[in-house]
Structures are given as C-alpha cells and as structure tokens.
Amino acid sequence: MSKRTQRKSMGYIKKDYIRTRTMPGSWYLSSYRFKFNITHFKPFQDKLKERKLVGLQCSSCNRVFFPPRLICGKCFVKPDRWVDLRETGRVATFTITYLKDLETGEVSERPVVLVQQDGSDTTYTAQLSPDVDYKDTYIGMPVKVHWAEEPTGGLMDIQFYDLVEDNSKDLELRKD
C-alpha cells in the first residue's frame, strides 16, 4: 500500500507541504509560569461576604454572568459592569444522583440542579435544601439562596437553595 492511499483509508487527506528549512529547537514547558489572576473578581467576593450577589455584565451584548466570567464567549471582550442580583432564582434543569452508603448499603437520592439566578443569563451547578424531596424537583422551580453561617467570600457561601412557594395560579377559564 502506498503512503497516499494509507492516509486516505484513515478518513482524511493530509496536505503535503514542501519542507523549505528545518530549525532545531526545544520548548521547555516546565519553565513557564501561569498565573490565574482573580483580582478581577474581588467585588464579587467582597459582596458574597456581605451576603449579597452581583453578576458581571458584558457591555457589548448585555448578557449577565453569574458566576462572573473573565471573557464573554460571544463578543471576546472583558465583561466590566457589576450588576446587583436578587437572592432568588429558578431551576433551569436538574438530575438525580444516587449515593450508596458504603456501611449500610442504603441508597439515597439527591437532586443536583442548575440554578439560573434572577437577573442573570447563565446557570451554575448547585444543591437544593436537604428538606426538598427529590421527587418534587421540577424545571422552573423557584428557589432562594440559603447562606452559609459565616460567609468567606467564595461560591461555597451559597450553602444550598431553599424552596420558594410558587405563587402562580391556574387561570380560571370561563365556562360559558
């Protein structure tokens, strides 16, 4: 089998480039130092310590990110506007996890939810209150932040989400 047909049989054809010059060189990856700068998120952390929520808004597309993001994936710019958010939100989607107790063999079901904070355009993974039966979880379920005893300025300050009573009512239809 020739080299060319061998490439073809792998499902793609690689273009042959004419090699003009070869330069010897090494790339010492271990000598690089990467720093993840989080000073950008300081206002977010400071507000969490006060049990307040803020989102970061992109001034190009006006989307609000919660938790804040360094770069807007749509516009490739730095979101730079902090906006106040409410403590309430909604379950955007959820899944049920099954945890087996290794000692007793007992299996417990817990919902893991994606919460969309009111006023934000993004979602993030969170826990529901242990009081909530997993069977009662539904998409669109209104929830509210349950703060940790002593906030430290991290996302863990949101211990879990409590249920908020859904005050929407079914419309009464005319019967005539």
Identity of the residue, 57 or 137, whose beta carbon is nearer to Zn ion in the bound complex: 57
**Token reading at 65:** 């990110």
For the CB of residue 60, give the shortest distance to Zn ion in the complex, in Å. 4
Tell me the closest approach of the beta carbon of residue 57 to Zn ion, in angstroms.
9
Q: Which position has the token pair 């998409």?
A: 139
CB of 62 or CB of 129, closer to Zn ion:
62
- What is the nearest approach in angstroms of Zn ion to the Cβ of residue 41? 17
Q: Are 43 and 50 in contact (CB under 8 A)?
A: no
Task: Quickly count: other Cβ atoms within 10 Å of residue 156's Cβ.
Answer: 10
Sign of CA dihedral 126, 132, 138, 144: negative
- Residue ranges in contact with Zn ion by CB under 5 A: 58, 60-61, 72, 74-75
61 or 99: CB nearest Zn ion: 61
